[in-house]
Amino acid sequence: MKLRNVRTASLAALVATALSCSGGSTPSAPAPAPSATVAAASPSPTAAPSAPASPTATACKYGKGDPDTFCARRNPALLGDVDAAIDRLVQQHPDYFILTDQNGPGGYKVLKPLEYHQGVVSNLQTAGFCAETDTTTVSVRNGIDFSEDYDILLATGHIRRGSGSYRQTCTPPSFPLDFADVISYVRVAFYSIRCDAGIEPPRNGEDKLPVGCTGFVTATPKTKDNLDVKEGLIGNRIDWTFEQEGEHVRVNDFPDVPFNKILTAVNPGHWLLCAEVKGIKGCQFGEVEPDPR
């Protein structure tokens, strides 16, 4: 994900916000860190469509999902129902698609991805299923035994159909969940710091980054027992915000890892980097120190 909001704030405001954010003490490293020589350019904020609200446990007539579910690829049971919901949406809202642009039979170009995902979910619900979406994955169930996840949009922006859209089956069902019961806090912290020759990297937990160093940050949703929340329960949607007074660090996306960021120290001062997952927010309040050489 791109940075959602970059704005200037006073140092006092940064401190106040940092004190209000949750944190932890156990670092995590979901992806290997690249070399510190990776070039870092200032990111440009991008707008994103509003996502549907997180579901509540009362959203499904079959009851809550289980955060301790086991998910794996099996033989999909609800694939035909998902494809039928897509067919109905094409009939209901042809304005969501370019019907003259197809990637395979019925694989129309999608003009409105958010409305597309929500429309498919609505049709599944009308047909008697429990269904929800995080705008990237559609989850569906019709009982208490299992749920299935589907990716119904190709990278080209066309409808994904058939067996290629099936991702996994979760037993017992993985949704709906009250995410406040699953995610206790989101830890935002360095998991690696690389520095130029002659600079001793600080410890990850100090949240300090000397000029001449690059830090690799990860946001990790944690349970109340300080364990990592299972990836299959939270999807890949994360909203980042970043604040600093002046230019103290440059922030870059970590390629193909939306839960990581790359920070390059520029000038001494403070920054505030926050991540929100399923409505739960955590922050890193960091300090750039002068080049010690």
Sign of CA dihedral 33, 36, 38, 43: positive
Cβ-in-10-Å burial (0-12, 13-18, 19+) of 72 comes to exposed
CA distances 218 to 15, 49, 241, Å, are 20, 24, 14
Q: For residues 230 and 39, which has the higher predicted lDDT (pLDDT)?
A: 230
Indicate the number of domains in the chain. Answer: 2
Cβ-in-10-Å burial (0-12, 13-18, 19+) of 51 comes to middle
User: Once rounded to an integer, what is the mean pLDDT over residues 144-169?
Assistant: 96
Range of the domain at 121: 57-177
* Position 20 pLDDT exceeds 70: no
Q: 76 and 90 share a domain? A: yes
**CB contact at 8 A, 52 and 137:** no
Which residue do the tokens 């690059």 mark? Answer: 214
Q: 194 and 224 share a domain? A: yes
CATH of the domain at 34: 2.60.40.10
Q: 160 and 232 share a domain? A: no
- Summarize pLDDT for 72-93 with one digit per residue, the tens: 999 999 999 999 999 999 999 9
pLDDT at 235: 76
- Cis amide leading into 76 (omega within 30): no
Q: Which of 2, 175, 185, 171 has its CA nearest to residue 72?
A: 171
Boundary (domain end) residue, out of 143, 177, 211: 177
Q: 148 and 189 share a domain? A: no
pLDDT at 275: 97
CA-to-CA distance for 263 and 258, rounded, in angstroms? 14
Q: 82 and 111 share a domain? A: yes
Q: 196 and 146 share a domain? A: no
Which residue do the tokens 């600079």 mark? Answer: 199
For the ranges 1-10, 111-120, 131-140, 174-183, the lowest mean pLDDT is seen at 1-10
Reported confidence tier of residue 4, pLDDT bands at 50, 70, 90: very low
Q: Which of 117, 114, 141, 113 has its CA nearest to residue 127?
A: 141
Contacts 24+ apart (CB under 8 A), 190-197: 190/27, 190/215, 190/216, 190/217, 190/284, 191/27, 191/28, 191/29, 191/33, 191/216, 191/217, 191/218, 192/29, 192/33, 192/216, 194/33, 194/35, 194/36, 195/36, 196/36
Q: For residues 29 and 132, which has the higher predicted lDDT (pLDDT)?
A: 132
pLDDT at 41: 35
- Summarize pLDDT for 232-270 with one digit per residue, the tens: 777 788 999 999 999 999 999 999 899 999 999 999 999
CA-to-CA distance for 286 and 213, rounded, in angstroms? 13
pLDDT at 49: 40
pLDDT at 18: 45
* Position 10 pLDDT exceeds 70: no
3-state SS, residue 232: helix
Boundary (domain end) residue, out of 177, 197, 224: 177
What is the average pLDDT score of the chain? Answer: 83
**CB contact at 8 A, 141 and 45:** no
pLDDT at 73: 94
Q: 95 and 33 share a domain? A: no
Q: For residues 100 and 33, which has the higher predicted lDDT (pLDDT)?
A: 100
Q: 199 and 235 share a domain? A: yes
Bridge partners (DSSP) of residue 276 are 239, 281
User: Once rounded to an integer, what is the mean pLDDT over residues 160-165?
Assistant: 95
User: Once rounded to an integer, what is the mean pLDDT over residues 223-235?
Assistant: 83
Q: 171 and 212 share a domain? A: no
**CB contact at 8 A, 259 and 238:** yes
pLDDT at 108: 97
Percent of residues, the chain, with pLDDT higher than 70: 80
- Summarize pLDDT for 103-151 with one digit per residue, the tens: 999 999 999 999 999 999 999 999 999 999 988 899 999 999 999 999 9
User: Once rounded to an integer, what is the mean pLDDT over residues 52-71?
Assistant: 72
Q: 16 and 122 share a domain? A: no
3-state SS, residue 51: coil
Q: 22 and 109 share a domain? A: no
CA-to-CA distance for 116 and 127, rounded, in angstroms? 17
Reported confidence tier of residue 181, pLDDT bands at 50, 70, 90: confident
pLDDT at 244: 95
Q: For residues 249 and 32, which has the higher predicted lDDT (pLDDT)?
A: 249
Strands 3-7 and 138-141: unpaired
Q: 31 and 90 share a domain? A: no
pTM value is: 0.58
* Position 27 pLDDT exceeds 80: no
Boundary (domain end) residue, out of 177, 210, 238: 177
